[in-house]
Amino acid sequence: MSVSFSEISKEEIAQVMQLSHAAFEEYQKTTPEQKSLFLEAIANEIEALGDALINKASEETNLPAARLNGERGRTTGQLRMFAQMLREGSWVEATIDTAMPERAPLPRADLRKMLIPLGPVVVFGASNFPFAYSTAGGDTASALAGGCSVVVKAHPAHAETSEMVYSAIKKAIASCNMPENIFQHVHGNSFETGKALVQADHTAAVGFTGSTAGGKALYDYSSQRKNPIPVFSEMGSINPVILLPDTLQHNAKDLANQYTGSITLGMGQFCTNPGLMIAIESEGLHEFINHLGAGIEAVQPAKMLHAGIHTAYNKKSHAALDQTGVTLVKQAAKEANDIEASPAIASVKADVFLQNPLLHEEVFGPYSLMVICADEAELTAVLKAVSGQLTVTLMGTDTDFANHPALIQVLPSIAGRILFNGVPTGVEVCNSMVHGGPSPATTDSRFTAVGINAVKRWVRPVCYQNCPDNILPPALQNANPLGIWRMTDNEWKK
């Protein structure tokens, strides 16, 4: 039996954010090592929840235990990654330009710069990742690492799972003697709750993963504030995949097998799901489409995360398939029941696609549209028409890459991550990963939601001029007590 949670009121939100602000100020007194131990304690407490957490998440989301165990590992791994980042220390970008009193015609003051935390961060839990993008996910981990307090609004689709993770964080707060309200947890389903959280006086930044409508609404709420704040919304993507002629001629079947798996992985409920494929008309392309159709036809329908996502998938996929010029290639042979999704592949000519903006929209689920182009110019036009993606993928041979240099040059303007001969589903959590992209994929293409650089969303630079050494933050003091790498007079030094 599911448990219901009461909607937080606007008055309670104001109090929560006030407590968060007070905790934030207290948190500034903790050392990087103390923060590291805190993040590691959260990871340990989440793991200590054992199978009970996995079972509850599976019950609420219909995701299999194997997937959830992997996602929990990613979540605890993220927390430990940020703990290591804090110990290494160079993430604060300490930069020192020492005084030059004898410089003519004007002397230079002593200038020292580093990154400092913004303040209380509100995180909206994501429906499709109950661990990695929710209560103790990447937004929370990076914000706590950056020195911010955090308030999470649990996603109603897995509210009990969120409560269990919250209990683990509370234990870590107690065992590490952290400020009691450094992390708080609230529930709410209404737009008014989201608006109140964004517009509360003490909210300093917002993290969101979800729909375009939801992300834009939060962004708009911020712009209506007396003092607008940054809103980092990751709002989905159709992740175009370009299939070049030579690889289609030689590898059509293998490519089809690869993309059957990618399109239907997790019933397509990933923000990096390949929802659009683009290729130039050829025999190899038609062979690929035939093999892909056969693969999709054999896929067994499975339950989606919840009824809302299932309803949206059916509505959007049917709307796309009903458009003039769109042909259903294949769908799963077995009938879908309850909230199961029926995987489907469709095709359309490029000229039709270019004239119909509805076909450019994301269909969140196991659906992909094949756009058939007459030549490279038309292919490039299609690609530019859907710019603003998390990923773009190029499938080709060395011959293909040599024959299409102009196309390759376009790719960085399309997405935050460019893949060659792979599938976009699956995001490695590491220093070099970029999980972001131009609008409408995100509200700020300068940042990533995955990897250690995710912390940069929650901090800002501050410069100290002619500040006495004993007053400076440790990261900027002459003795470098933290032992971190710093840029000093244009040289990296410890």
Residues identified as active-site: 234, 271
Nearest to 132 by CA among 454, 444, 459, 437: 454
452 contacts 435 by C-beta, under 8 angstroms: no
Cα separation, 444 vs 447, whole angstroms: 6
Cα separation, 266 vs 63, whole angstroms: 8
Nearest to 256 by CA among 151, 345, 175, 162: 345
Longest dimension (CA), the chain: 82
DSSP letter for each residue of 123-138? EEPPSS-TTTTSTTSH
Residue 146 corresponds to which amino acid?
Answer: G
- Tokens 């509805």, located at residue: 358
- Cβ-based neighbour number of residue 30 at 10 Å: 18
CA-based R_g, the chain, Å: 24
- Cβ-based neighbour number of residue 249 at 10 Å: 17
477 contacts 469 by C-beta, under 8 angstroms: yes
Beta bridge partners of residue 123, listed in sequence order: 152, 207
451 contacts 432 by C-beta, under 8 angstroms: yes
